[in-house]
Amino acid sequence: MAENQTDAMHEKRYSLVTALCMIIGICIGSGIYFKADNVLIATGGSVVLGVAMFCIASMVIVFGGLTLSVYAARSEAAGGLLSYADTYLPKPLARAFNWNFAILYLPAISAVLSWVVGVYFCMVFGLDGAFGKGNAFAVQMVFGLVFFLLCSLWNVYAPKLSGYFQNATTLIKVLPLVAVGVAGIAYGAMGEAGAAVGEAVAGSASASGVDGLAWFAAAAPIAFSFDGWAMSTGIAPELRDSRRNLPRALVAAPLVVLALYLSYFVGLSTVLGPQTVMSAGDRSLGLFFSSLFGPGAAMLPNVIALVSVMGSVNGVVLSMLRMPYALAQRGDFPFAERVAHVSPRVGFPVWSAVAGVAMTLAWMAVHVVAMTGDLIPNGDISEVSVAFNMVLFCALFVRVPALRRGRVAGEVDGAVAAAGSGSAAAAGEADGTAGVGAFRGVVAPVLATVGSLFVGGSALMSPGRWEFVAVYLVLLAALFIWRRHRER
**pLDDT tens digits for 215-262?**
665 666 677 778 877 777 766 677 788 778 888 888 888 889 899 999
The mean pLDDT of 103-119, rounded to a whole number, is 94
More confident residue, 426 or 134: 134
In the predicted model, what is the mean pLDDT of residues 430-455?
Answer: 78
β-partners of residue 348 are 343
Q: How far apart are CA 468 and CA 464, in angstroms?
A: 7
Amino acid identity at 21: C
Amino acid at 34: F
Cβ(42)–Cβ(214) below 8 Å? yes
What single letter denotes the amino acid at residue 117? V
What does the pLDDT average to over 13-30? 79
- Residue 206: pLDDT over 70: no
Could you give the count of Cα atoms lying within 13 Å of 464 in the half-sphere of its Cβ?
13
Mean pLDDT of the chain, nearest integer: 81
pLDDT for 214 equals: 62
- Candidates 32, 39, 42; CA nearest to 226 is 32
Q: What is the pLDDT of residues 36-92, one digit of tens each?
A: 887 888 788 888 888 888 888 788 888 988 888 888 888 767 667 888 899 899 999
Instruction: Please report which confidence band the pLDDT of residue 409 belongs to, taking 50, 70 and 90 as the band edges.
Output: very low
Tell me the CB-side half-sphere exposure of residue 329, using CA atoms within 13 A: 19
pLDDT over 90 (residue 131) = no
- Residue 215: the pLDDT is 64
Instruction: Quickly count: other Cβ atoms within 10 Å of residue 208's Cβ.
Output: 8
Q: How many residues does the chain have?
A: 488
User: Phi/psi of residue 343, each to 5°?
Assistant: -65, 120
Output the pLDDT for position 187. 75
In whole angstroms, give the CA distance from residue 16 to residue 25: 14
Q: Helix or strand or coil: residue 406?
A: coil
Residue 330, pLDDT > 80, answer: yes
